[in-house]
Chain A
């Protein structure tokens, strides 16, 4: 006998509605926070054998305090991130810029994460805007439709 109860076969009444109504800001908050957690634990494995206790010693904090920093979707502060980066001796996050002369390490925004706006204008001309650039192409069929995706 196998007991399964996955999200795919549960007749959930509100799940889809809640997911559908969740603002982009909340979606991005959760995804970014989870990305940061993944990176923190990658570095914890690399630099401290995956042991929170060793990181706590390095930071001069209690294990309980460090556990809070390392677990759960949360509102990471710049202070927390920079403290962890110091302890790991490695970067956790980076700031994006298109300015090659910027006075910090420039990181190009990855295409998969960048904001893309596609406009299907009159006469079927399609315009894609990405990171401030506009790429024009033809062969679009719909007229005057604008949508955005991230």
Chain B
């Protein structure tokens, strides 16, 4: 199961989370049509996340609820790596038990992929990531 499939399996019950999930999925659908422009996303230490913005009123009203985050890797305008996410409960994602592991994986994976592409070991195409059959990299 992919990381994004794991996110998709999650059920959110609070009304504002349901709305956030709708906004995230609708944004993903639109990115598929418009291209993955960086300004649709929130930068997250080399990786990115959706939604690109969280309602300030919502954060003010819920001190332990910073809304849902789905982590992504913007590899090209036509190639996005969708990863896992959850409800963020701390300002610093590293401190959040929900999103911390997803944030750290996204950061490591995306930075490793970008480095491997810069060094010519892998290639990003509109169809996916191309690499030699025996190529391995650590994250």
Contact = CB atoms under 8 A, between A and B. Distances in A.
Contacts, number: 101
B23 A19 contact: no
Of the listed residues B19, B28, B39, the one surrounded by the most CB atoms of chain A closer than 10 A to its CB is B39
A70 B69 CA distance: 19
A2 B19 CA distance: 35
Interface in A1-31: 1-7, 10-15, 18-19, 21-23, 26-27, 29-31
Interface string B9-50: 101000000010111011111101010011111110000000
Given A14-B9, A30-B23, A41-B39, A2 B30 contact: no
B27 to A, nearest CB: 6
Nearest to A21: B22
Interface in B68-114: 81-82
A2 B52 contact: no
Contact of B5 (A10, A23, A41): A10
Contacts of B41: 71-72
A26 B22 contact: yes
B59 interface: no
A70 B22 contact: no
Nearest to A70: B39
Contact of B30 (A18, A31, A68): A31
Nearest to B38: A71
Given A10-B4, A15-B25, A30-B26, A73 B19 contact: no
Given A4-B127, A30-B30, A72-B51, A37 B40 contact: yes
Contact of A1 (B25, B32, B133): B133
A74 B28 contact: no
B25 to A, nearest CB: 5
B38 to A, nearest CB: 8
B130 to A, nearest CB: 5
Nearest to A27: B26
Interface of B: 2, 4-5, 8-9, 11, 19, 21-23, 25-30, 32, 34, 37-43, 51-53, 55, 81-82, 125, 127-133, 135
Given A34-B27, A75-B55, 4 more contacts: A18-B21, A37-B39, A72-B39, A73-B40
19 contacts: A1-B130, A1-B133, A3-B129, A4-B128, A5-B2, A10-B5, A12-B5, A13-B8, A27-B26, A30-B26, A34-B30, A34-B40, A37-B37, A71-B52, A71-B53, A72-B41, A73-B40, A74-B52, A74-B53
